[in-house]
Amino acid sequence: MLTRYMGAAMRISTYEIMSDGTYYGEIPGFQGVYANADTLEGCREELQEVLEGWIMIGLRMGHSLPVVNGIDLAIKEDAA
């Protein structure tokens, strides 16, 4: 499920070329998840690494994570 979630998030990522020729990428709805690199591929790779860390910290801290393409990583407790 985590792989599908990350893939769905990366598919909505946006990129732009900055005035200095580097690439900037972010994922709309994922506050603080952004990257900057010399190449588009490098920017994608860095963005994916940032996303992975963001998800891990968010889950550890109990934060609500955005639902992406119907994929919800919220931990649901079983009713007794």
Per residue in 2-46, pLDDT (tens digit) is 999 999 999 999 999 999 999 999 999 999 999 999 999 999 999
15 pairs with which residues across the strands? 25
Is residue 47 a contact partner of residue 28, using CB atoms and an 8 Å limit? no
pLDDT in the model for residue 32: 96
The pTM score is 0.88
Model confidence pLDDT, tens digit, residues 44-63: 999 999 999 999 999 999 89
Which domains, from first to last, does the chain contain? 2-61 (3.30.160.250)
